[in-house]
Amino acid sequence: MNVKRTYGLTTAILHSDREKPIEHGALHKPIHAGVAFGYRDARDLAQVFQGKQAGFRYGRQGNPTVGALEDKINTLEQGAGTVCFATGMAAIAAVATALLRRGDHVVASAYLFGNTHSLWESMAGKGIDVDFVDTTRASAVEQALRPATRLVFTETIANPRTQVADLARIGALCNERGILYAVDNTMTSACLFQPRNAGAGLVVNSLTKYYAGHGNALGGSVTDTGLFDWRGFPNLGEPSKNGPASGWGLAQLRAKGLRDFGAALGPEAAHHIAVGMETIALRIARQCANARALASMLAADPRVKAVYYPGLATHSQHALAAQLFADFGALLSFELDEGIDCFDYINRLRLGVAASNLGDTRTLVIPVAHTIFYEVGAQRRAAMGIAEGLIRVSVGIEDTSDLVNDFQAALAD
Ligand SMILES: *Cc1c(COP(=O)(O)O)cnc(C)c1O
């Protein structure tokens, strides 16, 4: 049964585990807690170590439960292969450290997730040049390219101001120049957007967010879409070039990124993420509908100064978002009128929970400048368009009217 070709996204996820025989006919891939894998014939163990036979060696480098999750994500992201990590940051750090070396140049989005921005700044201190550019314009990316550019890295919808990257045009540019193009698809997930269709060679996901979906597991992944030609990539070691060229990048990510840095996804977290994924399409449909309703209510209220949501016709990249994505996502941010304090407003909410994280089933609200973007300082916040009173909302799956009423009632003090 090849569920990838025949069925839709939810059907494919639900029946993916049954593509391979599961112990006792269990409908979920079991949680394999074992770290070591025994072989009757020691020669088989050697074959596995030499990459000549499929199999597991040691928990840090792969696990059957994690492997089943990798297959699911790979199906969703139309990949040639996927490798999972302990967190989304571990997945991004693996791309940065396993595939780049001193003297390389990276073009990254100026609107990255805060910790990703911080990671690229650390890499800059280790001899990798990084330019942060406005990826809503492919021309800004083009102007930043140099002969030493090895990677272009962007997100789909930026958090918290919801800028939308010009994903397909950047992809065309990278493919024309033979540059590796990595897209962090966390904000959209494969439900709303498949970066492979925009020419991405690598797709990064924080599984912690929409994939797991319930705020109960950390995880990350890198998918190789098969579009990038690794034969022209100068940073691969000989051991990574064992099999066909299409697998070279992922082989190096698995060895240098996962094995050597050691941020392996645990089997229990993999199980939570796999169960969460079964309802991703249902959750995201509801979350997008709720976000749209909430954004419309806020935009129509005179006590709200600005609303940032790609689904609003007033959003700078509304047309681009409509072209690229199946829906406009479930994250929005807004600024209140001068007279309303953002802390007081959040404290008046009964359903919106003051909490970090996003992609949870519950609606989560955070005063951006005072929390997740506190460390970067006022100057960079201003440059990123983050007002001191900006409130970010990760919209959950609550009943729509309850949510809209809650956010409206809190406007009155
Ligand atoms: C949360 C997030 C990450 C990091 O993922 P973790 O699983 O928290 O490490 C990376 N990119 C984006 C866009 C995110 O929202």
What residue spans of 178-266 are helical by DSSP H? 189-192, 248-252, 260-261
Pocket of ligand 1 contains residue 91 by CB under 6 Å: no
Asked whether residue 265 falls in the same domain as residue 299, the answer is no
Q: What's the pLDDT score for residue 3?
A: 43
User: For 122-167, how does the pLDDT look when each residue is reduced to its tens digit (9 = 90+)?
Assistant: 999 999 999 999 999 999 999 999 999 999 999 999 999 999 999 9
Angle between helices 280-300 and 400-409 (to 10 degrees): 30
Domain edge (last residue) among 238, 258, 277: 277
User: For 72-82, how does the pLDDT look when each residue is reduced to its tens digit (9 = 90+)?
Assistant: 999 999 999 99
Q: What's the pLDDT score for residue 51?
A: 85
* Candidate from 208, 216, 331 with most ligand 1 atoms within 8 A of CB, to mutate: 208
Which domain covers residue 381, as residue numbers? 280-412
Domain edge (last residue) among 229, 259, 277: 277
Pocket of ligand 1 contains residue 187 by CB under 6 Å: yes
Domain edge (last residue) among 218, 248, 277: 277
- The pLDDT mean for the chain works out to 95
Count of C-beta atoms within a 10 Å radius of residue 335: 19
Q: What's the pLDDT score for residue 7?
A: 86
Please give the number of the atom of ligand 1 that sits closest to the Cα of 218: 7
Asked whether residue 245 falls in the same domain as residue 200, the answer is yes
Asked whether residue 17 falls in the same domain as residue 73, the answer is yes
Distance CA 292, CA 389 (A): 21
Token pair listed for 362: 């519950």
Q: How many domains does the chain have?
A: 2
User: For 378-411, how does the pLDDT look when each residue is reduced to its tens digit (9 = 90+)?
Assistant: 998 998 889 999 999 999 999 999 999 999 999 9
User: For 5-19, how does the pLDDT look when each residue is reduced to its tens digit (9 = 90+)?
Assistant: 478 999 999 998 888
Asked whether residue 145 falls in the same domain as residue 259, the answer is yes
Please give the number of the atom of ligand 1 that sits closest to the Cα of 220: 7
Q: What's the pLDDT score for residue 1?
A: 36
Pocket of ligand 1 contains residue 218 by CB under 6 Å: yes
Asked whether residue 220 falls in the same domain as residue 305, the answer is no
Nearest CA to ligand 1 atom 8: 88
User: Which distant-in-sequence residues (6+ apart) come within 8 Å of 250 by Cβ?
Assistant: 80, 81, 82, 83, 222, 224
Asked whether residue 148 falls in the same domain as residue 174, the answer is yes
Q: What single string gives the DSSP state of each residue in 2-61?
A: -HHHHS-HHHHHHHSGGGS--GGG-SSPP----SB---SSHHHHHHHHTTSS----BGGG
